[in-house]
Amino acid sequence: MKREPLPTAMDGYRAPWWLPGGNAQTLWAALYAQRHFGPTPRWQRTRWDTPDGDFIDVDLSTHTVPPGAPLLVLFHGLEGSSASQYAVAFADFAASEGLAFAVPHFRGCSGEINRAPRAYHSGDFQEIDWILKRLAADHPGRPLLAVGVSLGGNALLRWAGEMGEGAAHTVRAVAAVCSPLDLAAGGHAIGRGFNRLVYTRMFLSSMVPKALRKLEQYPGLFDREALLAARDLYSFDNLFTAPLHGFRDTEDYWARASAKPVLAQIRVPALALNARNDPFVPAASLPTPRDAGPCVTLWQTAQGGHVGFPALRPPLRSHVRAMPEAVGRWLLANI
């Protein structure tokens, strides 16, 4: 029987007073806040061969899990991994609740360059579909719950919308955290001002070297000099992400990969959590209840930054466990 969603710690969320603004809440959470209350999560890695001759690496948390307990799957964000602060925090939540927990890595994000002439992108719902169905087959008897963070959340909700009624055959509920569901709005926002100086530079510092390694695997795949000249994600996507994944250009990619246009097609319980001061995701671009449809719950907090949501634990130690706790309990309430 479906249970009513529980009250959430995100209701009335406020960041610590000494972290004003979305940038402070984003950066502090990523760099300094406590990630776990229990033991440091440990991982068992499995490599899966993909249908197109490539591979992905899946990390499964090694904490003890009762038979039949749900499996929580986390899809990471742009250039993320099982080491990202939010992945560690969700692993800690899963351990505290006795849930199995898995982090599938998008191609090229597990520390080793992938084999195929492609990488990953924000709307790769076919990859999400294959991963979720493989996990369901590998863990029979465990209800499947899925959460995606930023890019991973957009891809997850895009999958749920594309699958419609069929999504319920694989998962019980899904959630997206701080996802740019309107990719054009998010893409333009991260290319301006402070965002361009800090976040764009950070992302390109890992994305460009990986793209160049891909060029070594496949000479002539793209224009090397043009890629080296890219100074924002728009240019990078235009030269690399879009053409390698079947899109005409950046505009075509952002339009066809965004989850916002398919939210009303979702037919499983779905949560979209966004902070209205997220530096990457303009508040004006966030979905309204009219966009979302009857199966989608919208949590839009005034504060939190981008995958930040720092909170305090006595004696005045900041942590990032409040968001995974709230999102995880919402998912569990919808089994």
Is 278 one of the annotated active-site residues of the chain?
A: yes
Is 306 one of the annotated active-site residues of the chain?
A: yes
The values of phi and psi at residue 321, to 5°, are -90, -15
Q: Which long-range contacts (CB under 8 A, 24 or more apart) does 217-221 make?
A: 217/113, 217/115, 217/117, 218/117, 221/117
Whole-angstrom CA distances from 84 to 32, 143, 194, 257, 258 are 12, 25, 22, 24, 23
Q: Which residues have C-beta within 8 Å of that of residue 254, sequence separation ≥ 6?
A: 183, 184, 187, 237
Whole-angstrom CA distances from 166 to 29, 71, 298, 334 are 36, 19, 22, 17
From the candidates 105, 121, 306, 319, which is the catalytic residue?
306
Cis peptide upstream of residue 315 (ω within 30 degrees of 0):
yes
From the candidates 139, 278, 285, 319, which is the catalytic residue?
278
Q: Is 314 helix (H, G, I), strand (E, B) or coil?
A: coil
The terminus-to-terminus CA distance of the chain in angstroms comes to: 8
User: 299, 12 in Cβ contact below 8 A?
Assistant: no
CA 320 – CA 156 distance, rounded (Å): 22
Is 96 one of the annotated active-site residues of the chain?
A: no
Q: Is 298 helix (H, G, I), strand (E, B) or coil?
A: strand
Q: Give the distance, in angstroms, between the CA of residue 172 and the centroid of all CA atoms in the same chain.
A: 18
β-bridge partners, 174: 146, 270
From the candidates 150, 179, 258, 285, which is the catalytic residue?
150
With tokens 């959460």, the residue in question is 147
The catalytic site residues sit at: 150, 278, 306
